[in-house]
Chains A and B, each alone.
Chain A
Amino acid sequence: MRGATSAPQSLGWLLLPALLVLALFLGSVALLFFHAFWGKDGFSLVYFRQILDRADYHEVFLRTVSIASIVSIAAAVLAYPIAWLLWRLPRWRNLLLVIVLVPWLVSLVVRTYGWLVILGPKGFLNETLKWAGVIQSPLPLIFNDLGVVIGLTHVLMPFAVISTLSVLLQIDNRLEEASESLGAGGFETWRRVVLPLSLPGVFTGLSITFLTSMGAIVTPILLGGIRQKMAGTQIYQEVVYNFNMSKASAWAICLLLLSALGLALLRAAEAALVPKADR
């Protein structure tokens, strides 16, 4: 629709609703900063100082960043072959895409509940292994960091598949043909042609899955238990049980800063790994 006759400025009114939503969002972010820095007695850094001082809080943030890093990398690695499969099977792509999209869109509380049913002490896996005589007592698969990592990785994999596949689909078929006619095998072609070209999609997936796992609440609470706190679960507790908005806001700002730092590092890694011409 580009190049249409000069549009009247009055169309600008149509932007108003979207601007209102934006204002609401930006207003909520402004309030977040206000609450975090403004206590009962005016300007205060008490909640930030508390985060800096308390070793148990360091541990929560460290766990959050470690789990988010492990989970985003695991999701990227496990999602890659699935994206590759969908890319290689164009005739089946729509059906296979439904198998990826439905788990992605189904509520994450439902998916997490599924892992509870599978991995719990009396869950499907433990009961089956016991029945088969492999184990005597149930394996501790949940209520620890392992459960959180399994659950979050699964919750985030579909997005990693989608972002990788969308870049794979951009690759010109002739590049592969050229590589193979020059004598490279299937694996060689993948390693030297397809993989470098698909890295930008992998990095998009890494960024989003890292962000999402940094802010996760439901999966860490249900699969990690109460003691294995992550930043999101702590924030949720402060808001819902302690009504401490200032502390929750300070935590949210720290979470935002750490997430931004992670994204900046990912961006730097992408710049180093992906050749310029491909971007």
Chain B
Amino acid sequence: MINRIVVGAGYGLKDWIVQRATALIMAVYTLILLVALGAMGPGGYEAWRAIFANGFMQFMTFLFFVSLFWHVWIGVRDIWMDYAKPDGLRLVLMIATAAALVGYAGWAAKILWRL
């Protein structure tokens, strides 16, 4: 193959918007969580469990984790794009990152649904 520099993949805007939207969701969730924790009376594990057993909290927590993993995907992919120069290595690292994040998302959901 001729070794020419090729650019023009034609994506990027969606990721840029998603990065900002997910950051916003995570910031809002952090506030909600702080309020919930502040309102939590003394009661140890049961009170802690009650917070996350609430339907709204489960919805928000799931949304938070999806946002977190999607945000991490864009950020870590940016790091590989900057520093991992061989194209093959970059592809392997991206696949490994995506695989780990999908696994983490499933794991997070499993923990949440168990409550």
Q: Do A and B come from the same complex? A: no
* Interface of A toward B, CB cutoff 8 Å: none
- Residues of B whose CB lies within 8 Å of any CB of A are none
